[in-house]
Structure 1
Amino acid sequence: MTYSSEEFRVACFTQAAKKHRFLQDFVDFGIEQGRVSGWKQAILLVLRERGVLSAFGNDLRISECDDPETLERWIKKATVVANVDELFD
């Protein structure tokens, strides 16, 4: 059976991807962790600049959250809440 150069390239890429999937999972995890860390920093910065964040416990609650959906919801709310308790509602 004869392969075209494109078919050969795709086959090689597929094999390489299978072999390196384990490494790619780590890369993907690192990218997601970086995104989560950035969201945490952004939430804290916005709340501090607005004078809304005051209690250490709230700062810690935000810093310890690793759920991307929760952080995305909080970052949207951080610009409009009157107090930090509203962020967590």
Structure 2
Amino acid sequence: MAVDLSFYKSYLSEEIRDEGRAEGRAEGRADALLLILEQRGLHIPDDARRRITECHDTDTLRTWLSRAITSPTTEAIFGEE
């Protein structure tokens, strides 16, 4: 008896995998961002922590991550958004 594996090669399956990868990258960047802020000794208000962890846009998280290296406060990483 053969098992139909065509779904795993389908467009929908690829889309699901790609979405999972992007979600994983976003989660990793959010974790890295929080780690940098913590290691720098910056206070991370609950609303900022929530904004970071709920963000799924990897480009936005990358921007915030870059800013976190020199930002004087956690709030400053968000810039003029």
> Normalising TM by the smaller chain, what interval?
0.7 to 0.9
Preserved contact between residue 44 and residue 53 of structure 1 (Cα < 8 Å)? no
Look at both structures and tell me which one has the larger radius of gyration over its CA atoms.
1
TM-score by length of 2: 0.80
User: Post-superposition, which runs of at least 4 consecutive aligned residues in structure 1 deviate over 6 A?
Assistant: none
CA RMSD of aligned residues (A): 1.4
* TM-superposed deviation, 1:53: 3.0
3-state DSSP class of the match of 1:54? coil
Equivalent-residue separation in structure 1 for 2:43 and 2:53 (angstroms): 13
Equivalent-residue separation in structure 2 for 1:20 and 1:77 (angstroms): 39
Q: 2:12 aligns with which of 9, 13, 22?
A: 22
Aligned identity (percent) is 31
The alignment status of 1:32 with 2:31, answered yes or no, reads: no
Unaligned runs of 5+ in 2: 1-5
Aligned length: 72
Equivalent-residue separation in structure 1 for 2:44 and 2:26 (angstroms): 22
Q: How does 1:1-89 map to 2 (within 5 A)?
A: 20-89=10-79
Equivalent-residue separation in structure 2 for 1:66 and 1:54 (angstroms): 19
TM-score by length of 1: 0.74
